[in-house]
Structure 1
Amino acid sequence: MFKEKNVQSKVLEYIYTTSKQPILLKDMLVANRQFNNGMQVDPGKLGFRLRLSRAYFLYIGIVLVILVPISLLTHKALAKVDSHISILGAMVITAIIFIGFNFFRDKMRDIMTKELIKKSWKLHFPFFSYEDYSIKIDSIFEKAMKEEISKKDLERYILDKLTAN
């Protein structure tokens, strides 16, 4: 899926299923617009789906890597303290773990969304880098939607506006 195999791309490949179909231009532009506005993008439009059991498995592994050393370091001190404090601490940590999974899932979705938008960007706009032209093309796409440009003329309209500027 991704050319460079770093830890992040391996994690994304592990917890997400991606479609082999290319992303349509309009879907990519809508997703880019939503992503730039800080909104959640529909994963179905970009062709990816979360494998929930794998995401839980990975998250549990990350939590254990963090909590086991902390537990080993604080065990003696907490064993001497009143048990009520330990119970309250366990409740707080449990709440943090469950809330943390939602943050983990949202962060992974945002990273996957950006990666797929960039991948699709290279297909539709190979001569315009995502970092430099994302906002510019977003505003051109907004104008195209107001002018009700058809899907088949959309790419030509955007490229004409880019070369005119």
Structure 2
Amino acid sequence: MIRLFTWSKTTIKRYTNDKIIPYVFTLSDDPMLFRDLLKTNKMYQDGLKLEGNIPGFRFSVGRSYVVFIIIWHLIMLPPAAIFHHPLTKIDCHLLIIMAVLFTGMFFAMYAIFKEYLIDAVAHKILQRGWENHFPHFDYDLHAKEVAKIYAEALDKEIPHKEMQLYILEKLVEKK
């Protein structure tokens, strides 16, 4: 059972990265600037809202709705087909309430879907920028550490010209 769940989770992530993200987002080929990488990494590590704050991608709302509606129907049509006969016998007032609840659930799930996609793209952009600016440090091991060092550098009011050297010195010092 766990193996099946792991297989489906990796398949979903791979399908999302290979098909959905390229369809919904337009990613820039330009490398991310160092200060943008630091700012975005700090926001990502702090769990802040990333939409509109990350340079290098454009989000297509229409395409995201198309993808979400397809996924929604793939999930909702089988139960609707199974429970169609009992639903025909329910009072119309209860059906109206159910319609309102499912509409609210649709838009709430779309908001979660949109945030998931934006987080996935942010992670992808951060890793690509990380490879460009910190090629000798693993992203997964050092991203939180760089965010803390960047916050310290901002507190100490270190100029942007010296920021990269300061962060690299601190990383090497802690290693």
Same fold (TM over 0.5): yes
Shift, 1:44, TM fit = 5.2
Distance, in Å, in 2 between the alignment partners of 1:136 and 1:66 is 40
Equivalences, count: 161
Paired residue for 1:164? 173
Paired residue for 2:115? 106
Percent of paired sites with the same residue:
29
Contact 1:140–1:161 at 8 Å: present in 2 too?
Answer: yes
TM-score (structure 2 length as normaliser): 0.85
Shift, 1:46, TM fit = 2.7
Shift, 1:42, TM fit = 5.0
> Which structure 1 residue ranges, 5 or more long, are not aligned?
none
Shift, 1:41, TM fit = 2.3
Runs of 4+ in 1 over 6 A off after TM superposition: none
Paired residue for 2:14? 6
Paired residue for 2:153? 144
Contact 1:16–1:51 at 8 Å: present in 2 too?
Answer: yes
3-state SS of 1:46 partner: coil
Paired amino acid for 2:96: I
Q: Could you tell which deviates more after superposition, 95-104 or 22-31?
A: 95-104
Distance, in Å, in 2 between the alignment partners of 1:92 and 1:130 is 41
> Which structure 2 residue ranges, 5 or more long, are not aligned?
1-12
TM-score (structure 1 length as normaliser): 0.90
Of structures 1 and 2, the one scoring higher in RCO (CA 8 A, sep 6+) is: 2
Distance, in Å, in 2 between the alignment partners of 1:109 and 1:122 is 20
Which of 71, 75, 96 is the equivalent residue of 1:62? Answer: 71
